[in-house]
């Protein structure tokens, strides 16, 4: 059963401007160390940061506004084939367990100016 769906789109230039203005302070407030390493290992780090930011926002939308969320409690990881997935921590992880939420399916896409993410959360609780 689908618990929630969230979609978010982010302008890459906006993320670049924020990172240039706030630097490490912004990065470490929003992204995990693993996400930062992954993105800065890419040819276009701001594109990767943008889709990850969009994924976090899409996940928050899919959950609904039922809890305070630190964006670092939502991590975008990739499996060995490159498929992105959501890993949860803190309040988000507790919320998933308390509401019997099984999996957050994630799809990411980007083009030179924008990054977009869609999250579908499954529940086994009717």
CA-nearest of 107, 83, 118, 115 to 12 is 115
61 is catalytic: yes
The tokens for 66 are 């039922």
On the CB side of 68, how many CA atoms lie within 13 Å of its CA? 0
Which residue of the set 11, 28, 42, 61 is catalytic? Answer: 61
Which residue of the set 43, 56, 72, 110 is catalytic? Answer: 110
- Residues 111 and 45: their CA atoms lie apart, in Å, by 13
* Residues forming the active site: 61, 110
């Amino acid at each position: 059963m689908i618990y929630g769906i969230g979609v978010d789109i982010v302008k890459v230039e906006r993320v670049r401007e924020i990172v240039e203005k706030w630097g490490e302070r912004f990065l470490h407030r929003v992204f995990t160390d693993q996400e930062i390493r992954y993105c800065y290992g890419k040819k276009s780090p701001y594109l990767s940061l943008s889709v990850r930011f969009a994924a976090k926002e899409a996940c928050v939308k899919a959950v609904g506004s039922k809890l305070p969320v630190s964006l670092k409690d939502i991590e975008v990881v990739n499996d060995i084939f490159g498929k992105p997935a959501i890993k949860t921590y803190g309040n988000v992880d507790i919320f998933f367990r308390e509401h019997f939420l099984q999996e957050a399916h994630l799809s990411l896409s980007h083009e030179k100016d924008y990054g977009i993410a869609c999250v579908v959360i499954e529940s086994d609780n009717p």
